[in-house]
Amino acid sequence: MKRIVLTLLVALSALHAQDWAKARLEKSPRHRDQIVVKYDGRAISTLVVYPETQDKKPVILLIHDSAGLTDWFQSFADQVAGMGYVVLAPDLLSGAALPADKQVTADLNAVADYGVKLSASNGTLFIAGIGWGGAQSFRFAADRPDVAATLVFCGTSPDKDSIARVIARIKGSVFGFYAGNDGSVNATVPLAQAAAKAAGVVFEAVTYDGVGAGFMQSGDAPDAKPADKLARGYAMERMKSVLDMVSLRGY
């Protein structure tokens, strides 16, 4: 009986853990649509957030981590749209297990095709992801030649057996955002940097010291630790700078 009660308490705690993110999202002035992208018998639920402008803007395909399209991630998508971009955040979790890479690629392609054809889009496509989504964004950039730039947040680089082949196919630039206390992911970066240099692909990586892999979320919370809050602030500034730079000049 005690075990059941404890399980329920944990579940309730998780349910309300992101209430602050949900409340923030509900107060946002930006327009949001929850749409479904359909193709080949599949239906991908996708959050679309529009910037507060009538001008056509680049599209950012934003990929969640293994937790899925949580309240916080939806709030993050809204904040990125506030930088002046059309953001599409698809829900790629169709069950308890993460989908196979091949399925993820097909789903992302369908959502990207939908996004760049929106009337609010100027046709430029970015991709960004966190954790599992960061790894997927790195790989997807090799399969989608019109990706202007890829932003990888604490995502594992392709494995050593495929890294050279994957990076050589990337047409745009890659920008990495890493946490100092995320050794397993960080260990994959040097090989990716070497492969990028050999292939002539821009790959700029920044590591934020003193924080763990979840700093983009933890640093956004009302009770954030100073280190997490500071690192997230720097990462958000760099994200906007990178997006603006590539949008205006290409890189």
pLDDT digits 0-9 by tens, 64-106: 999 999 999 999 999 999 999 999 999 998 665 677 888 999 9
Reported as a pLDDT band with limits 50, 70 and 90, residue 9 is: very low
Q: How far apart are CA 45 and CA 37, in angstroms?
A: 6
Reported as a pLDDT band with limits 50, 70 and 90, residue 248 is: confident
Residue 249 has pLDDT above 90, yes or no: no
Hey, is 86 helix, strand or coil?
Answer: strand
- Which superfamily does 17-249 belong to? Alpha/Beta hydrolase fold, catalytic domain (3.40.50.1820)
Reported as a pLDDT band with limits 50, 70 and 90, residue 12 is: very low
pLDDT tens string 100-140: 888 999 999 999 999 999 999 999 999 999 999 999 999 99
pLDDT tens string 41-66: 999 999 999 999 989 999 999 999 99
pLDDT tens string 214-223: 999 999 999 9
Instruction: Say how many C-beta atoms besides its own lie within 10 A of residue 146's C-beta.
Output: 11
Hey, is 67 helix, strand or coil?
Answer: coil
Q: Pick 157 or 96 by higher pLDDT.
A: 157
Residue 2 has pLDDT above 80, yes or no: no
pLDDT > 70: what percent of the chain? 91
In one-letter notation, the amino acid at residue 187 is: A
Residue 148: HSE in the Cβ half-sphere, 13 Å Cα cutoff: 20
For residue 95, the model assigns a pLDDT of 62
Residue 10 has pLDDT above 70, yes or no: no
Indicate the burial class of 142 (C-beta count within 10 angstroms; 0-12, 13-18, 19 or more).
Answer: buried
pLDDT > 90: what percent of the chain? 85
Burial track 69-96 (b if 16+ CB lie within 10 A, e otherwise): bbbbbbbbbbbbbbbbbbbbbbbbbeee
Residue 206 has pLDDT above 90, yes or no: yes
* Residue given tokens 């050999």 in the structure block: 198
For residue 14, the model assigns a pLDDT of 45
Q: Pick 251 or 164 by higher pLDDT.
A: 164
